[in-house]
């Protein structure tokens, strides 16, 4: 029934086989299937990190990896402990049938898979990617494991009980965090694969996760500054006029964006010379200003593209089980209606190489080194993953890995081109995306105070998902009236939040806007001076605040690179022993020293803040010192960022 293997053991019962192996410090990987364990399925885990393992086999089997212990009973039931404390344990759905692991055939060796664990009344759960539901604690939620615009699946969670768990499968499905049990479901896959870790606190768990799935690279220094964007600068002259105006006004600017439709056809991956006549000169002038150009690169290809026929002939598109390899409709130049476009398949190494060669030839050769990977869920219309077939496998089994493999194409391409710093701005991600230099933004979101409140909590759960580079469209994406007093206030409050995010980026589809196809499609002005003199004065000071914070931000990026510790994080990461911090989802820490409490209500001019116990906190605006372990009400006039500094910190918040 039990068989010892390298750093672990296997259990067999009837047709089921279960393999457990020590996987890094304080980590154990579990795989289970019918008949045999496969080694060829994609996942997030990298090569097995070093770590000591102890195996004991008798009537039960015990595997010890650091402070984490797994015990498997004779009938194959699993229980994870740390010391005398149960962290996580399997539980049957019924005393007779089904058991904790269920395989229901979907045909041809594939199964609808269920993995069930016990529920714990006092448990809080954080992570699991980015979602628009506005929840901080995920306990009680049902989370779809599928990639969509603004809904990002990263199947890693951190529990208040002291463990982290990665569901190491890119299959579509869901996780149900119910009061009567936790259940992970894959719609159609071949085996269960997950990894559990523990540590002395959430920071340790995040460090173990980075060791197991890959550390983020060091953020390029230029990326810590301010990014200017809108939908969309239609020409080279329009973009350069904005960059020159920032310089004329003496405003800090690090990145400016050439958004979609700068191309000749979707999937040509090159500038339209009629609108962008000399991109090399543009890149050179921007760099003299200290500004990097970011270009939007979509993974979709129009049938009008010069690359379409070759990619189709070589099988570089995602295939379909039924019908031609067409995945969405979209606008393109030269036609009056939408065309049927195809997404390339980044799980195919040859397709990744083909794409990068065109990016290298048409963009990187001009000096461009910053990539916006839009629509990389991919943006399917309709969203039917069961009809897709990737190089790596069927859509239902591997589809969630698309954004990771797409970022990999650029990461590997940049390194091969001799670049040492890589960052891609992505609309989607999966577990392990951080190792490829992926920065996530929160997608096409609403320009409302309710949306801002949801972003705060979404960003903190992204941090707990092991992805340290994150940002939002400051001001929201879908709309925004520059003349509206409420929207102007929202812009200020969102900007105050944005300057304390890992990346500070202004973007949006402002009014007046047109839904017409190219060439009319563009939004209204979205520069810091676009919202009236009062707002401009506040945003200008916030730009300089971000500049003053950049050395501190880069210190936190070093910690993210070396230890997997996200710069922006929930308060409980640094204060896990204070039980009150586990419920604080509308305030956060930037590094260890800055407590940020965004104002997310229209008209609010004060803000209640919980101060973590164990240290004192100083209001930099008033100099007042508050003891920790209490709620204080601080003034938050429109021109003031509501932050407090930890005892001993000396940061230039007020100039």
The answer to whether 277 touches 271, Cβ cutoff 8 Å, is: no
The answer to whether 445 touches 473, Cβ cutoff 8 Å, is: yes
Q: Which residue's entry shows tokens 């080194």?
A: 369
Dihedral of alpha carbons 619, 622, 623, 626, sign: negative
The answer to whether 154 touches 431, Cβ cutoff 8 Å, is: yes
Q: What is the rounded CA–CA span in Å between residue 87 and residue 390? A: 37
End-to-end Cα, the chain, rounded Å: 68
Would you say how long the chain is, in residues? 655
Q: How many Cα atoms sit within 13 Å of 2 on the Cβ side?
A: 20
Rg (CA), the chain: 25
The answer to whether 571 touches 585, Cβ cutoff 8 Å, is: no
Backbone angles phi, psi at 86, to 5 degrees: -75, 125
Q: Supply 111's token pair.
A: 């199964």
The answer to whether 379 touches 149, Cβ cutoff 8 Å, is: yes
373 membership: H or E segment, kind and range: strand 370-373
The answer to whether 62 touches 79, Cβ cutoff 8 Å, is: no
Active site residues: 374, 377, 444
Backbone angles phi, psi at 76, to 5 degrees: 85, 20
Q: Supply 514's token pair.
A: 């047109």
Q: What is the rounded CA–CA span in Å between residue 526 and residue 515? A: 17
- For residue 500, which of 133, 224, 218 has the smallest C-alpha distance? 224
Q: Work out the widest C-alpha separation in the chain, in whole angstroms.
A: 77
Q: Supply 106's token pair.
A: 């979907």
Q: Which residue's entry shows tokens 């040509």?
A: 268
Eight-state DSSP code of residue 493: H
Backbone angles phi, psi at 11, to 5 degrees: -120, 140
622 membership: H or E segment, kind and range: none
Eight-state DSSP code of residue 259: -
Q: How many Cα atoms sit within 13 Å of 177 on the Cβ side?
A: 22
Q: Supply 413's token pair.
A: 């391409």
Task: Render the burial of 384-407: b for 16+ CB within 10 Å, e for the rest.
Answer: ebebbbbbbbbbbbbbbbbbbbbb
Q: Supply 652's token pair.
A: 């230039």
Q: What is the rounded CA–CA span in Å between residue 587 and residue 579? A: 15
Backbone angles phi, psi at 453, to 5 degrees: -60, -40
């Amino acid at each position: 029934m039990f068989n010892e293997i390298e750093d672990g053991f296997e259990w067999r019962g009837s047709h089921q086989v279960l393999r457990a192996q020590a996987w890094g410090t304080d980590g154990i990987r579990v795989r289970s299937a019918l008949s045999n364990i496969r080694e060829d399925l994609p996942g997030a885990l990298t090569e097995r990190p070093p770590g000591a393992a102890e195996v004991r086999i008798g009537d039960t089997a015990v595997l010890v990896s650091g402070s984490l212990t797994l015990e498997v009973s004779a009938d194959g039931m699993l229980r994870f402990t740390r010391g005398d404390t149960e962290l996580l344990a399997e539980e049957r759905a019924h005393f007779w049938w089904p058991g904790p692991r269920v395989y229901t055939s979907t045909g041809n060796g594939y199964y609808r898979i269920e993995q069930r664990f016990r529920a714990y009344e006092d448990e809080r759960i954080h992570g699991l990617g980015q979602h628009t539901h506005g929840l901080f604690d995920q306990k009680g939620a049902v989370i779809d494991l599928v990639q969509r615009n603004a809904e990002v699946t990263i199947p890693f969670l951190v529990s208040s009980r002291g463990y982290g768990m990665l569901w190491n499968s890119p299959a579509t499905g869901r996780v149900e965090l119910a009061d009567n049990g936790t259940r992970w479901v894959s719609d159609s896959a071949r085996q269960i694969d997950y990894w559990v870790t523990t540590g002395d606190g959430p920071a340790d768990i995040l460090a173990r996760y980075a060791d197991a799935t890959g550390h983020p690279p060091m953020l390029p220094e230029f990326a810590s500054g301010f990014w200017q964007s809108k939908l969309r600068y239609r020409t080279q002259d329009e973009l350069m006029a904005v960059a020159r105006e920032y310089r004329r006004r003496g405003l800090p600017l690090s990145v400016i964006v050439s958004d979609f439709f700068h191309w000749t056809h979707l999937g040509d991956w090159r500038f339209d010379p009629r609108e962008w006549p000399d991109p090399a000169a543009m890149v050179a002038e921007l760099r003299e200003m200290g500004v990097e150009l970011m270009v939007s690169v979509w993974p979709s290809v129009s049938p009008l593209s010069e690359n379409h026929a070759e990619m189709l002939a070589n099988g570089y598109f995602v295939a379909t089980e039924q019908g031609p390899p067409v995945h969405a409709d979209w606008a393109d130049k030269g036609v009056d209606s939408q065309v049927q476009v195809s997404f390339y398949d980044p799980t195919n190494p040859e397709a990744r190489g083909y794409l990068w060669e065109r990016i290298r030839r048409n963009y990187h050769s001009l000096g461009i080194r910053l990539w916006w990977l839009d629509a990389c869920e991919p943006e399917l219309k309709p969203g039917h993953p069961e009809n897709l077939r990737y190089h790596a496998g069927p859509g239902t089994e591997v589809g969630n890995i698309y954004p990771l493999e797409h970022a990999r194409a650029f990461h590997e391409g940049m390194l091969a081109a001799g670049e040492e710093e890589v960052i891609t701005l992505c609309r989607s991600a999966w577990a392990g995306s951080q190792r490829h230099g992926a920065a996530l933004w929160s997608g096409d979101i609403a320009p409302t105070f309710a949306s801002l409140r949801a972003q705060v909590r979404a960003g903190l759960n992204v941090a707990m998902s092991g992805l340290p580079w994150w940002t939002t469209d400051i001001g929201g994406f879908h709309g925004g009236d520059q003349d509206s007093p409420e929207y102007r206030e929202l812009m200020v409050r969102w900007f105050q939040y944005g300057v304390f995010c890992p990346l500070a980026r202004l973007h949006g589809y402002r009014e007046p806007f047109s839904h017409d196809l190219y060439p009319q499609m563009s939004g209204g002005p979205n520069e810091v001076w676009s919202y009236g003199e009062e707002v401009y004065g506040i945003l200008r000071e916030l730009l300089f605040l971000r500049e003053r914070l950049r050395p501190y931000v880069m210190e936190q990026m070093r910690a993210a690179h070396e230890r997997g510790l996200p710069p922006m994080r929930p308060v409980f990461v640094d204060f896990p022993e204070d039980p009150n911090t586990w419920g604080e989802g509308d305030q956060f820490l930037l590094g260890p020293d800055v407590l940020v409490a965004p104002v997310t209500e229209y008209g609010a001019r004060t803000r209640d803040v919980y101060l973590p116990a164990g240290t004192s906190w100083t209001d930099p605006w008033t100099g007042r010192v508050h003891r920790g372990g209490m709620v204080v009400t601080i003034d938050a006039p429109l021109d003031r960022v509501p932050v407090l500094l930890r005892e001993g910190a000396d940061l230039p918040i007020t100039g």
